């Protein structure tokens, strides 16, 4: 069944907030194998000009798990999650992510298009502080395999 393209442009309610923790940043850097000391050592981060340790750019993936279910779980969209593969992920950081920030994601179904038998949905999320200051944009491309109009899915 094809995705409901009428939802293109739909803006979803913001996620619940996520408080960035110093240890969570350290754990994430360790998990991705990035030894950069600005992710784990306060003094190294300060020497580099930051007020505290900073999060690796892909740290915002943890917030993705708070806002993306609103989009991919939207019953009007018609997405069969068993057919999903993650196609691409990008982040545009406007400022470093630091401990103590309380972040929310405001997702938009930005685009739905087909290539061959597959459909692609692009989800763009504004990552903001609780008080509405935008700190990043996250863009995800999700592939729905074999659901394009005319495919035999």
pLDDT tens for the chain, residues 1 to 153: 899 999 999 999 999 999 999 999 999 999 999 999 999 999 999 999 999 999 999 999 999 989 999 999 999 999 999 999 999 999 999 999 999 999 999 999 999 999 999 999 999 999 999 999 999 999 999 999 999 987 655
- Domain membership of residue 56 (yes or no) is yes
Alpha carbon separation from 3 to 11, 34, 44, 60, 121 (Å, rounded): 16, 37, 48, 26, 9
Query: Using an 8 Å Cβ cutoff, are 61 and 89 in contact?
Result: yes
Hey, what are 46's tokens? 């300060």
| pTM assigned to the model | 0.90
In terms of phi and psi (left: phi > 0; alpha: psi -120 to 50; beta: otherwise), the region of 132 is left
- Domain membership of residue 48 (yes or no) is yes
**CATH code assigned at 103:** 3.10.129.10
- Domain membership of residue 79 (yes or no) is yes
Query: Using an 8 Å Cβ cutoff, are 144 and 120 in contact?
Result: yes
- Domain membership of residue 149 (yes or no) is no
- Domain membership of residue 75 (yes or no) is yes
- Domain membership of residue 38 (yes or no) is yes
Domain region containing 53:
5-144
- Domain membership of residue 152 (yes or no) is no
What is the number of domains present in the chain?
A: 1
């Amino acid at each position: 069944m094809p995705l409901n393209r009428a939802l293109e442009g739909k803006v979803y309610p913001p996620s619940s907030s996520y408080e960035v923790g110093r240890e969570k940043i350290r754990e994430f850097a360790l998990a991705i194998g990035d030894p950069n000391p600005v992710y784990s050592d306060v003094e190294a981060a300060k020497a580099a000009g930051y007020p505290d340790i900073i999060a690796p750019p892909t740290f915002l993936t943890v917030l993705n798990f708070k806002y993306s279910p609103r989009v991919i779980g939207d019953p009007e969209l018609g997405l069969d999650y068993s057919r999903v593969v993650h196609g691409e992920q990008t982040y545009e950081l406007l400022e470093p992510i630091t401990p103590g920030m309380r972040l929310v994601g405001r997702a938009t179904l930005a685009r739905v298009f087909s290539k061959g038998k597959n459909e692609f949905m692009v989800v763009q999320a504004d990552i903001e502080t609780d008080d509405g200051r935008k700190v990043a944009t996250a863009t995800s491309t999700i592939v729905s395999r074999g659901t394009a109009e005319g495919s035999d899915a």
